[in-house]
Amino acid sequence: MKYNKIASERIEILMQRAEEAFAQDKKRANRYAELARKIGMRYNVRLPKKWRRRICRKCSAFLKPGSNCRVRIYKSRVIITCLECKNVVRIPYAKED
């Protein structure tokens, strides 16, 4: 129980650092994202929702829309393409009436 809280805090810190470091050094941002993902897997902690889609599931790169990933909306889906490894993620969404 205690480890889960520490792991969640560490994931949050690493993802914030990845966001800050992306402009200067993409490799460092990718490393922070990879470490956050590994901590989540080791301690069985889910990434927070706001960070979950910011890491490529294939290459563990930190994704920043417009820089190294493409985000499109098509037929009730959000399509995120990682431009590092060309991995495509399709996420369904419901249209509001």
**pLDDT by residue, tens only, the chain of 97 residues:** 789 999 999 999 999 999 999 999 999 999 999 999 999 999 999 999 899 999 999 999 999 999 999 999 999 999 999 999 999 999 998 877 6
Q: Residue 97: its pLDDT value, please?
A: 61
CB 20 within 8 A of CB 51: no
- Domain 2-92: assigned CATH number: 1.20.5.420
CB 84 within 8 A of CB 61: yes
Q: Residue 74: its pLDDT value, please?
A: 92
Q: Residue 94: its pLDDT value, please?
A: 81
Instruction: Say how far apart CA 97 and CA 76 lie, in whole Å.
Output: 13
Q: Residue 19: its pLDDT value, please?
A: 95
Q: Which positions ≥6 away from 10 have C-beta within 8 Å?
A: 36, 39
CB 63 within 8 A of CB 86: no
